Amino acid sequence: LALATFPRTEGDPIRKWLLLWLVGVWALRLGWHLFRRWRAHGADGRYLDLLGRLERTHGMGFGKAALLAVFLPQAVLAWLTSLPVQLGQVALEPAIGWIGWTGAGLAVIGIGFESIGDAQLTAFRKDPANKGKVLDTGLWRWTRHPNYFGDACVWWGLYLIAAETGPGVWAVAGPLFLTFTLTKWSGIGITEKAIHGTRPGYADYVRRTSAFIPWPPKKA
């Protein structure tokens, strides 16, 4: 969507290139991470469970269930979330200022945060000695979901870049909806529901560790 918008708008060139570069780095990193995870662990069990329930309860075939429950909702989510990189490319003035550069810094921090979190989790899972254990070191000591927090930082940062322009201000719906999705809808809730009861010590980890925003852990 960012790439499709780029040649069709006449906004500030620096802002346009900055938005395109940042979202491109974010997308390539996420795509590579998901590909490696798929190669190592197969399809996401959460989606397989969802599609299986739809097939059993509504008699849907796999293709129809995947279209209605996965691909169409994700298309809407992608369009809404990416509003900053669409509307942020429209206006020629004003030129990017300190708010925009602050947003760029926040986006870079977010990419780094989720990259480190994913790398720590991947390394933890590769060690057979950690099977059934809970990762509570590194970034995971401060937040139970550093990847989700980093993702939110990226899109709030992109919004700040866009928000210096009139059209870009209205893109706030994107990061708001993403943050709601990650924290209240399909992110933390579904992920933790799948983990509870499968790993000893996870309930204690939840009790002492912030769910989203990095924060010093509570004492055991």
**pLDDT of 117-172, one tens digit each?**
999 999 999 999 998 899 999 999 999 999 999 999 999 999 999 999 999 999 99
Identify the pLDDT of residue 101.
98
Please report, in angstroms and rounded to a whole number, the separation of the first and last CA atoms in the chain.
Answer: 46
**What was the pLDDT predicted at 119?**
95
Looking at residues 208-214, what average pLDDT do you find?
A: 96
* DSSP letter assigned to residue 196: T
pLDDT score for 43: 63
Tens of pLDDT, residue by residue over 63-122, are 666 666 666 777 888 889 999 999 999 988 889 999 999 999 999 999 999 999 999 999
| pLDDT above 90 for 199 | no
Give every CB contact of residue 199 below 8 A, 6+ residues apart in sequence: 132, 133, 134
Q: How far apart are CA 199 and CA 187, in angstroms?
A: 19
Whether residue 29 is predicted with pLDDT greater than 80 in this model: the reply is yes
The pLDDT value recorded for residue 77 is 85
When the pLDDT of each residue in the chain is averaged and rounded to a whole number, the result is: 88
Contact in structure between 130 and 62 (CB atoms under 8 Å):
no
Measured between alpha carbons, how far is 52 from 17 in angstroms, rounded to an integer? 42
Q: List the chain domain ranges.
A: 2-208
Amino acid in the structure at residue 214: P
pLDDT, residue 219, reads: 81
In this structure, what DSSP letter does residue 216 have?
P
pLDDT tens sequence across 182-194: 998 878 887 888 7
What per-residue confidence (pLDDT) applies to 50? Answer: 61
